[in-house]
Amino acid sequence: MALTLYGLGPSRSFRCLWALEEAALEYDYINIEMGSNEKNGAQSDEYLNINSQGKVPALAHDDFSLTESAAILNYIDSLAQQSFIPSQPQQRAKYDELAFFVLSELEQPLWTIGKHKFAIPEQYRISEIFTTAAWEFDKAIKALGNITDIGNGEQRYALGDTFSFADVLIAQTINWADVFKMEVPAEYLTYRDTMYARPAVKNAKAKFA
């Protein structure tokens, strides 16, 4: 089995790196340089054959590849000896709800800010959008409390008593918000700190330190 993750620092690819460490799978990690068409550059022909958008992450497994972080987490789980995604129907549905919420609501204002700060060409950036994005994030972080009880100080993990890849998605997104200096309730920062103290996170960070 040849697994290779292509990523860049604490971007969305960090979710996949963290999940690989939790799953204790053997893999190679290749740091991708955004905007470059040199070797290991996001615009190189070799990388574009793996991820045609020239973005990270990408996971290659022999001649099979995936390019969306949540899909990569699901695939990693399918290869792991220990499952990090519930199989019981209602618990699985709750996992999916949290995963889709992170992708569609919680992270989107953050990615809007990222795009208009550094990701898209300068002539297309609109600084006025930051106020709207901050409002959207505030709305989403409040809605998170209606989906999971991690913010009440009693529930340690997103799905209750057991760590799951939902925790990877949520904690990494909360960390992203903190880096962007968004207003994040203290209880969610405490949750992030608890998740980031896991050995798998430390091992993942060492890959690009």
150 and 76 belong to one structural domain: no
In 3-state terms the chain splits into helix, strand, coil percentages (rounded to 5) of 55, 10, 35
User: Strands of 64-66's sheet, edge to edge?
Assistant: 28-31, 3-7, 58-61, 64-66
66 and 93 belong to one structural domain: no
The H or E element spanning position 77 is helix 69-79
79 and 111 belong to one structural domain: no
pTM of the model: 0.96
Residue 206 forms part of a structural domain: no
Q: List the domain range (segments joined by +) for residue 74.
A: 3-83
Q: What is the DSSP letter of 102?
A: I
177 and 115 belong to one structural domain: yes
Strand 3-7 and strand 58-61: the pairing is antiparallel
Q: What is the CATH number of the domain that holds 167?
A: 1.20.1050.10
In 3D space, the residue among 39, 69, 34, 5 whose CA is nearest the CA of residue 207 turns out to be: 5
Instruction: Give CA–CA dist 32/180, Å, rounded.
Output: 22
From first to last of its 209 residues, the chain has per-residue pLDDT tens of 589 999 999 999 999 999 999 999 999 999 999 989 999 999 999 999 999 999 999 999 999 999 999 999 999 999 999 999 999 999 999 999 999 999 999 999 999 999 999 999 999 999 999 999 999 999 999 999 999 999 776 778 999 999 999 999 999 999 999 999 999 999 999 999 999 999 999 999 999 87
Domain's final residue, options 35, 64, 83? 83
18 and 33 belong to one structural domain: yes
116 and 44 belong to one structural domain: no
What is the tally of structural domains in the chain?
A: 2
